Every structure is written in structure tokens, then in C-alpha cells.
Chain A
Amino acid sequence: MDAVLIIQSLISGIMMGMVYALLGVGFSLTWGVMHVINISHGAFGLLGAYMAYSLLQYFGVDPIVSAAVSVPLLFLVACGIYQLLIRPITRAQNVVMASMILTFGLAIILENVMAIIWKADPRVLTPTYSSGALILGPFYFQYPHVVGFGLSLAGITAIYLFLKKTYTGMAVRAAWQQPEAARLYGVNLYWISMITFALAVSTAGAGGICLALLNSFEPHSHNLWLINLFLVVIVGGVGNVIGTALAGLIIGVITGLSMAFLPFLWVNLVTFGLLMIFLIFRPHGIFKQEGI
């Protein structure tokens, strides 16, 4: 095995892992804060990707630039969806289960609405730099990877700082740990939940754009995305932003290394097997402690 192959596949593994982490943080937040497991999270990501696709196709706007439009737009859509669909079920005995069933339905709807609007054909997000690379010595840093990695890092950092440093962010965490006390100190749970949900959905959109730079997508691709982001979230620990980022890195390293060392046929199998073993030995994710 030579070093170039190992490092090269580590680079792309890690960069991909970070993109899944960006997709995952929002999922992790709604789950941790509101006990809402949002099965449609991946579908929202895909919606972001399709929006970027159309903006690029018809207006020639670069996906990163258009994110400035599509992400806020998703934020608004999510506020509406929260109001209409999520809020009514927060009173269920088992919010986790109810939310899963509801958002499963939502995912089906989104998938087929996208299929109607954008058709079932596969799409590829191809801005000018889409298959270029930054070459450093023997190593290639593919631009889509670099952009995805950078955007993910920025997104995750922003979410982390938001939760850690801003009052609203602290309120989000407080509301999740002790909702009643949070209300007593002036937190409007309803607002906080809406913001959390909308924030989560908009990060999904950003993540979706990053992912669309790497792979082609179709209306049903969100299922696959969901599984990957689910793994990242669990390995990182539910509700743990730093954990999610680290999990992205870890999963990236695992995939990268197995790509370099194993026959490709065994890569997915080994990855899932290792994750299973990881979870058996460290059932609460990377960090024992709860945190963000």
C-alpha cells in the first residue's frame, strides 16, 4: 500500500464525512431538543439540492451563492411546516414515535412532489469547478470536496457558536434539557422549537447542496442520505454538535481507510460492521457526557 493512495482516499473520505456531519447536525438538534426524529430531513436536504440545481440551470447562479437564497427560503418553509404539522404532535405521549411516523409521510410527499416538479431523472450539480482539483504535491483536493468541506465546517461552527454563545442558542439547549424551567425564565418554547426546526431544515438544505456537488441525485436519493446522516448522528451522540462533526471525521476515516486497504466489494460491509461494533462498545456515541 502506498502513502498517496491512503492519504488521497483519507482526504476524500474525511471531506465527505464532514458533509454528512453538516446534514446530520440539524437532525441531531431536532431530535435532541424537540424529540422529533425527522425522517424527512434528507428530503429537505434534497430540496435544497434541487433548488440549487434550478438556480444554476436557469440563472447560472453558483450553488454557494444561491445557498444565500435557498437556505433562508427553506427556513421559511420549515417554519410553516413546523406550525402546521410538527406543533400539533408535540403533545403526543411518545413524540419520538409520532414524529417518525409523521415525517415519514412528509418524506414520501416531498419525494413525490420533487418527482413531479423536477422529474425522476437523475441530476448533477455541475458548476464550473465541479470536477477541478487543487493540487498540492502528489495530492489532489477535488473542488467539490473542498467546497463541501469548507461549507460544512463553516455551518457546523456557526451552529456550535450559535448554541454556545448566543442567548437564543442557549435557550435552545435549555429548552431541551428542562423545558419547564426554560419557560419560567422567559423562553418561549414555541418560538424556540420553531427556530430549532427551521434551523435544522436549513442546514439540511446547505448539506444537501454540498452533497449534490459530490454525487448525482434523484427524488429518492434522500433515503440513502438519511441513512448516512443517521449513522453520523448516532456515532456522534444525539444532540451533540461537536460529536457529530467528529463522527463525520471518524466515519470518513473508516471509509477512507477501507477504500484504500480493502477490496471495494467489502468496503460498505466493513464500514457498517465496524459501526455496529463501535456502537456495541460505545453505545452513547463518542462522548459519554451530554453536551453540544
Chain B
Amino acid sequence: PGFGAGKTIVIGGSLPLTGAYAETGQWIEKGMLFWAAEINAKGGLLGRNVEFKIYDDQSDVSKAVTFAEKVITVDKVDLLFGGYPGTAARAVMPVAEKHKFVYVSMGGHMKSFEQGYTYSFGAPPLMGEWWYEGFFHWLATVPADKRPQRAAVYTINNPVGLSLTDSIERWTKKLNIQIVINEKYNAPLTDATAMIVKAKQSKCDILFANGFFPDGVTTMKAAKALDYNPKIIVQGVGSVVPAWVKELGKDGDYVFSGTSLSGQLKYPGNDKLNAYTKKTYNLNEYPLYFGFGYAWMQTLEQAVKGAKNLDQTKIRDWLKTNEVNTIAGPMTFDKRGLPEPINFGTQIINGKVELISPKRVQTKEPVYPKPAWKK
């Protein structure tokens, strides 16, 4: 409790701090805590200090639901924070709806925003459907005769993976790229040899590896070992986490992907976050999920300030009608609780995640085609 009991604003919820999603959960937690420290230093929210009540749901969806109910009904927190992964968010969104609590998170992908919930917001969301927009916009600028012609698409069979394929199918048609291989796989992917051999034999010159970090690593290793050199390798959400560059080094270079947040964006706040993560974690740029944690809190902060009190319905209504400004840029929300599609194309160049598209945010000219593996 801060000064004056009951004065503190408590924000509660659960994150996967241990188990399968521990890494991500912990980054989100760090982002949120950074926000709290910052706002408390500035005199708090509505003049009150903020404090977190974070439970570890052990990467278990049903625990996430129970803890959401706990913070709402027992801990009687003032605000709810968003969870991870998408499946947990999908399950918590109805709880938030029933208890009429604003729930700002990455959301559980497009489908969960189409269930008619009114209290859930993705701010910014992590939408598979949008993930490759930036990349494709750039690809469209490549002259047609220089574009890759044949695509191999390997997709992890989970909600994120499935939502990634939508835009691939739409865009490849538009850009006249033939999808030669289009396959899904169930995690865990322990060996990608057969995938790479198939892609190589089918002369695919663009590879979409729509997976997470472990699958991404496995496919990259196999691609290098089997000396498979497509013009483009696109990776799912795995390649924008800090571990990618850190662990794969040179081998992770030239991979395209997308992001909805980046420390290199010129929106206010990004420099500060970068400086903090540089100092604390020795990272050149704040990690994606650190940013998510921070941005969700930013959104909540502005909504509370806008509504001027902690009435959840007022906060929701404020969000529905006003613009918020976050490190991911300005956003206004539609009926579903989603902003306009946000996406930036990325490529890893010399061990750094560079923004390549749209032009206005470009930090580096993309390297195309991808240089052959050095043996």
C-alpha cells in the first residue's frame, strides 16, 4: 500500500512466468513493471500509485481463467492486465466480459475479437492476419521479374500459424507467386530436413516458415546445412525475439518477418525504453514482448486518465471513442476492439532487426536476394 491505504491502484491478472511460455511471460512482466515504475515516479495514475498483483498461471489456460476471476472478485483489483498466449487471452476475454472489466492485451487473434466482446482491446494486438503486411508491401515494390516465383509454406498448426497463412494466400495471388508447397505441421518440430529437401527440390525460391522460435531455429539450421538458398526466407513470430539474433548470430541473418512494435519507430517513448533495456539487459532494442507489456499499460493509462476514474464501463467507452498514443503509434479502436492494422516489415541484417517497410519507418534497405550461405 502506498501513502494512504486504499489509495493505490491495483492492476491484476496472470502471466505464464513458468512453463512453456515463461520467456514471453517474463518479458511482458518486465515491460509492465517498467511502466509502473515510470508512472509512479511521475506521481501515479489519477494521483495514486499503481501496483501489480501478478499471478503465475504456469502456462496453463485454465489457471489463467481462475486467476482472472481471483483478481476481479477476491483481490478486487482496479484494473485487469492482458495475458499470454493467445489461447489464454481467448479464454480470459469472456471472463472480462462477464465481469465487465476492460481487458487490454495482444488478444487471442482475430477470431477472438469477432465473438462480440465489448470490453476487450488489442492495443496493440498481435494479429497473425496482419503479420506479413509490411513485408508484402515491400515485396510488391520489387519488380515483377525479380520477385520470387515459387513459394514453400510451412505452417505450425496452431491459432497463430493458421492466421498467418491468410495473408500469404491473399498476397501471393496478388503478386503472382505460385504456392508450390503448402503444408501444416504439429509442434514440436524436431527435424526440418524433409521440409527443406522438399522445398529445395521443388525449386521454391521463397520459404515461409510460419512457426515459433524453436521451429524457426530448426528450419534455419536445416536450410543452412542442406545449402538451401531461396531468395527469401520469411519467419513467423520467432525471429523478432531477442534470442534469435543472440543465439543464431550470422545464421539468423536476412530473415524477413513483421512486427507491430519496434524500438526503432519514431513514436515517443521508444528511445526511453531502448535506453532502459540497453542499460538493464544489454539489448540494443527492447524486446517485442517487453514492448507489448508496456504498450498495453500505456493504453490503459490513457483510458483511465481520459475517463478520469476507474469505472470500467467509462474506461471502455473512452477507449471506443478516443485515440490512444502508444509506443506502437496512435490507435483508435473499432467495434471489435481492434485498431487499424498495424504492421511493419522487418529483416534481420547484421544481427539487428531492421524495419524495411513501410518506407516512412525504414531503417535500412532490405538485402535482396538473400546471399547464399557461406560454407
Contacts and interface: CB of A to CB of B under 8 A. Distances in A.
Q: Are A and B part of the same complex?
A: yes
Given A4-B201, A112-B18, A218-B23, A142 B242 contact: no
Interface stretch (B76-84, B130-138, B214-222): B214-222
A54 interface: no
Contact of A265 (B59, B186, B220): B186
B226 to A, nearest CB: 5
A142 B243 CA distance: 23
A221 B213 CA distance: 13
Contacts of A11: 193
B19 to A, nearest CB: 6
Interface stretch (B43-51, B244-252, B268-276): B244-252
A166 interface: no
Interface stretch (A78-86, A88-96, A126-134): A126-134
A68 interface: no
B250 to A, nearest CB: 10
A143 interface: yes
A285 interface: no
A133 B191 CA distance: 15
Given A16-B190, A121-B23, A143 B225 contact: yes
A260 B154 CA distance: 15
A264 B154 contact: yes
Interface in A114-128: 115, 119-124, 126
B194 interface: yes
A269 interface: yes
A131 B191 contact: no
Contacts of B194: 5, 8-9, 12, 256, 259-260, 264
B22 to A, nearest CB: 4
Contacts of A74: none
A140 interface: yes
Contacts of B144: none
Interface in B221-250: 221-222, 224-227, 241-243, 246-249
20 contacts: A5-B194, A9-B194, A12-B193, A119-B26, A126-B247, A131-B221, A131-B373, A133-B227, A142-B193, A142-B222, A142-B226, A143-B225, A214-B190, A216-B247, A218-B23, A256-B194, A259-B193, A265-B183, A265-B184, A267-B185
Interface of B: 18-20, 22-23, 25-26, 59, 154, 157, 183-186, 188, 190-191, 193-195, 197-198, 201, 213-214, 217-218, 220-222, 224-227, 241-243, 246-249, 251, 373, 375
Interface of A: 2, 4-5, 8-9, 11-13, 16, 111-112, 115, 119-124, 126, 130-133, 140, 142-144, 214-216, 218-220, 224, 228, 255-256, 259-260, 263-265, 267-269
Given A122-B217, A133-B225, A259-B193, 5 more contacts: A120-B26, A121-B23, A121-B242, A142-B226, A216-B217
